[in-house]
């Protein structure tokens, strides 16, 4: 009897989890991509690769913006074989280097005549510093994408009707932005223990939501819109930098509950392809639906200050 109760309890818990925290959704957006150009950061693996595959299948010109040329080449070969679309390209981008971001945008603007969709997909959970001395999670997850977006916006406005989709996370709810620490130490959290760099990850994901919130205000009057996304809890390479014992603990749980990259790409695709969501520019989406964010994530003053500080750190402010 006790065994049956235990099995029932575990099964009930599993069903609750897969219908709440690990709920699946499906993108129903069907906007055409033929003749349109897309940039996907981190598009050679995980959610980014699944997103690239779908958009290539719809006829888009898809640029995988990532560091690893070999992984990108393998991804491109697979995508081209599965979709028959030869317009899938690699361009080198290292988000941990502002110099690389500038080089990428310079090359793109010289070689590509339009940009319709920018998907800020890449991210990591790790400790360390970027080439420019920023905390690696703040530098890669937020600052690199901030500079990339700002430099590409003029080209997006030229094409008209473009969208910026930035992957955040439900982890933003546990984040905070300490501008004093950022000014002094050039990071929003660091440390060798996993809980320390997970907190830094939460802080960087809050930056993603605040960035989108402020970007929408600055895009008013143009036809470009923007959205932040929680993709779900997905089995990707995001946690590749965590310790071995943590991977041993996480891997069985991931195989049982976590979404696969295709399922994790659905909300990104919704924000990229769903027609009629333009009035929701600046909002946060999860499970292909608009969701409310934490109070910290819709603080106008904090969002504006983060933008101004980010401009300064990137050398954009006058």
Q: What is the pLDDT of residues 292-303, one digit of tens each?
A: 999 999 999 999
What confidence category does residue 10 fall into, taking pLDDT thresholds of 50, 70 and 90?
very low
The answer to whether residue 16 is domain-embedded is no
pLDDT value, residue 250: 52
How far apart CA 92 and CA 131 sit, in angstroms, is 16
The answer to whether residue 2 is domain-embedded is no
- Reference 261, options 291, 233, 289; nearest CA is 233
Sheet with 88-92, edge to edge strand ranges: 88-92, 61-66, 37-41, 117-120, 163-167, 225-230, 284-286, 289-291
Q: What is the pLDDT of residues 70-91, one digit of tens each?
A: 999 999 999 999 999 999 999 9
How far apart CA 264 and CA 269 sit, in angstroms, is 10
Judged by average pLDDT, the poorest of 8-17, 25-34, 55-64, 192-201 is 8-17
CATH number of the domain that residue 251 is part of: 3.40.50.720
Residue with tokens 């603007």: 109
Q: Work out whether the CA dihedral 13, 292, 254, 272 comes out positive or negative.
A: positive
Beta bridge partners of 288: none
pLDDT, mean over the chain: 88
pLDDT value, residue 14: 38
The answer to whether residue 18 is domain-embedded is no
Average of pLDDT values for 29-56?
Answer: 96
What confidence category does residue 262 fall into, taking pLDDT thresholds of 50, 70 and 90?
very high
Longest dimension (CA), the chain: 72
- Reference 165, options 209, 228, 245; nearest CA is 228
Cα separations (Å) of 52 from 38, 164, 177, 297?
A: 9, 15, 32, 28
How far apart CA 270 and CA 263 sit, in angstroms, is 12
pLDDT value, residue 86: 97
The answer to whether residue 31 is domain-embedded is no
Q: Which residues are catalytic?
A: 201
Which residues are CB-contacts of 316 (< 8 A; sequence separation ≥ 6)? 147, 150
Average of pLDDT values for 105-133?
Answer: 96
Does the pLDDT value for residue 248 go beyond 80?
no
Which residues are CB-contacts of 172 (< 8 A; sequence separation ≥ 6)? 202, 205, 206, 208, 209, 293, 294, 297
Does the pLDDT value for residue 102 go beyond 60?
yes
The answer to whether residue 26 is domain-embedded is no
Tell me the three state secondary structure of residue 62.
strand
Note the pTM of the prediction, 2 decimals.
0.88
In contact, 151 and 102? CB cutoff 8 Å: yes
Q: CA dihedral in degrees (160, 144, 56, 236; nearest 10)?
A: -140
- The number of domains in the chain is 1
* Whole-angstrom Cα Rg for the chain: 19
How far apart CA 34 and CA 117 sit, in angstroms, is 12
Average of pLDDT values for 118-143?
Answer: 95
pLDDT value, residue 63: 98
pLDDT value, residue 260: 83
The answer to whether residue 9 is domain-embedded is no
Tell me the three state secondary structure of residue 235.
coil
How far apart CA 188 and CA 203 sit, in angstroms, is 7
- Reference 208, options 221, 190, 222, 227; nearest CA is 227
How far apart CA 20 and CA 284 sit, in angstroms, is 17
What confidence category does residue 259 fall into, taking pLDDT thresholds of 50, 70 and 90?
confident
Q: What is the pLDDT of residues 39-50, one digit of tens each?
A: 999 999 999 999
How far apart CA 71 and CA 60 sit, in angstroms, is 21
The answer to whether residue 213 is domain-embedded is yes
pLDDT value, residue 197: 74
Proportion of the chain above pLDDT 90, given as a percent: 75
In contact, 314 and 143? CB cutoff 8 Å: yes
Its domain, for residue 74, covers 37-314
pLDDT value, residue 141: 98
Question: Which residue has better confidence, 219 or 193?
Answer: 219
Average of pLDDT values for 96-112?
Answer: 98
The answer to whether residue 189 is domain-embedded is yes
Residue with tokens 């909002």: 283
pLDDT value, residue 23: 56
């Amino acid at each position: 009897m006790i065994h049956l109760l235990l099995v029932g309890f575990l099964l009930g818990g599993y069903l609750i989890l897969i219908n709440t925290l690990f709920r699946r959704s499906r993108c129903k957006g069907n906007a055409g991509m033929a003749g349109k150009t897309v940039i996907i950061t981190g598009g050679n693996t995980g959610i980014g690769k699944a997103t690239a595959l779908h958009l290539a299948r719809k006829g888009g010109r898809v640029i995988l913006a990532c560091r690893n040329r070999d992984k990108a080449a393998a991804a491109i070969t697979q995508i081209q074989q599965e979709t028959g679309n030869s317009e899938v390209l690699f361009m080198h981008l290292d988000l941990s280097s502002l110099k690389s971001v500038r080089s990428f945008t310079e090359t793109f603007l010289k070689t590509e005549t339009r940009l319709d969709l920018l998907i800020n997909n890449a991210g990591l959970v790790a400790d360390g510093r970027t080439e420019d001395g920023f905390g690696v999670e703040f530098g890669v997850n937020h600052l690199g994408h901030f500079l990339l977006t700002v430099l590409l916006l003029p080209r997006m406005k030229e094409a008209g009707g473009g969208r910026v989709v930035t992957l955040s996370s439900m982890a933003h709810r546990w984040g905070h932005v300490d501008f004093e620490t950022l000014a002094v130490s050039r990071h929003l959290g660091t440390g060798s223990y996993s809980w320390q760099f997970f907190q830094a990850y939460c802080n960087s994901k809050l930056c993603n939501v605040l960035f989108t919130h402020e970007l929408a205000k600055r895009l008013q009057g143009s036809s470009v819109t923007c959205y932040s996304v929680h993709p779900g809890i997905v089995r990707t390479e995001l946690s590749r930098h965590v310790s071995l014992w943590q991977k041993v603990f996480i891997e069985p749980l991931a195989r049982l509950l976590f979404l696969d990259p295709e399922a994790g790409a659905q909300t990104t695709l919704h924000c990229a392809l769903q027609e009629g969501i333009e009035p929701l520019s600046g909002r946060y989406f999860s499970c292909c639906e608009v969701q409310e964010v934490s109070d910290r994530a819709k603080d106008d003053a904090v969002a504006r200050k983060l933008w101004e500080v980010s401009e300064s750190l990137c050398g954009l402010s006058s």
